Chains A and B, each alone.
Chain A
Amino acid sequence: MIDLILASSTEVKSAAIHIDWLSLITTVASVVSIFAGLFFVLAGTLGVLRLPDFYTRLHAAGMTDTLGAELILLGLILQSGFSQMSLKLLIVGFFLFITSPTATHAVAHAAYKAGLKPKLGKYKAPEIDGDVK
């Protein structure tokens, strides 16, 4: 990103305005994708902190490593272009797709077998204004 800005500023001095549209578009797309991924990771973290019990927190944690991680990986793939690095990142994404639900299931299954009862029914965040019951 910084390279791109510097490169364009030096080019402006030498010749008429010449913009490398392809790299501009891929850079913008990758930055947008990484920021969207970061948003999902942030929302997942907030979910882990806010939700009431173990099982509901698991959902928020799962959100972090599906769409959050995959969008960040997509952004990195766009950054690295068509190279061996992007192939490796693609493989990382594929393995995340397989391993993250397996790990989530293992944790949930272990908790269920150990006898942890999930909270069912409606849940609302408690009031903040002093009168928490």
Chain B
Amino acid sequence: MRFGVILALILAATWLSLSGYFIPMILSLGVISVLFVLWMCKRMNILDRETVPYLSLPQSIVYFSWLFSEIVKANVQVVKAVLSPDLEVSPTLTKIPYASDEDVARTMFANSITLTPGTVAVDMEDNHILVHALLKEMSKPADFKEMGEQSAWAIGEAVKAR
């Protein structure tokens, strides 16, 4: 119920910000759309904290700003490697253990790895992620450990503390 109300508010805000028309016909179409999406979510039985992760919103904002600084750093490294005349790269495959048992935190971790240039999550197995790195110095497990803990904090622990 609570998740449904919050999802409805988010959907309504998205509709209003994307349409920008406040005439009755468009607004009623918006109401119909929001109700339809809510009904579909109810029917699919996915109205839970994975679909509506509002509890960890502040942590997610902190996490995404940290991740953005990491992305900028990694981008500079990759640009240097790609634009250097002799193109010295050292591709590696590394197994990185998960930092959390939560599905959402694992997904967030793998997505963050892929979002960071120079590292791509190739495969997710039972207890580790297979990561392909462009440069050997990018595949240090210590760096991934920090990212994993941060992503687990952004999603997992906030939910557990509820």
A binds B: yes
Whether the Cβ atoms of B87 and A63 lie closer than 8 Å is no
B119-158 Cβ-contact flags toward A at 8 Å (1 or 0):
1111100000010101000000000000000000000000
- Contact in complex: B115, A55 (CB < 8 Å): no
Query: Chain B residue with minimal CB distance to A123?
Result: B89
- Report if A101-B87 is in contact (Cβ < 8 Å); known contacts: A47-B78, A118-B132, A120-B92: no
What is the number of residues of chain B that contact chain A, defined by CB distance less than 8 Å? 36
* Inter-chain contact total with CB atoms closer than 8 Å: 112
Indicate whether A88 sits within 8 Å of B114 (C-beta atoms), given known contacts A109-B122, A123-B90. no
Name the distance in Å between A56's Cβ and chain B's nearest Cβ. 5
Proximity bits, B49-84, A CB within 8 Å = 1, else 0: 000000000000000100000011001001100110
Cβ contact of A108, chosen from B14, B91, B120, cutoff 8 A: B120
Interface size class of A (residues with CB under 8 A): 35 or more
Find out whether the CB atom of B111 lies under 8 angstroms from the CB atom of A43: no
CB neighbours of A112 from chain B (8 A): 122-123, 130
Q: Which residues of the partner chain B approach A66 to less than 8 Å between Cβ atoms?
A: 71, 75, 115, 117
Would you mind naming 8 contact pairs between A and B with Cβ atoms under 8 Å apart? A55-B132, A59-B78, A62-B114, A84-B17, A102-B114, A104-B114, A108-B132, A123-B91
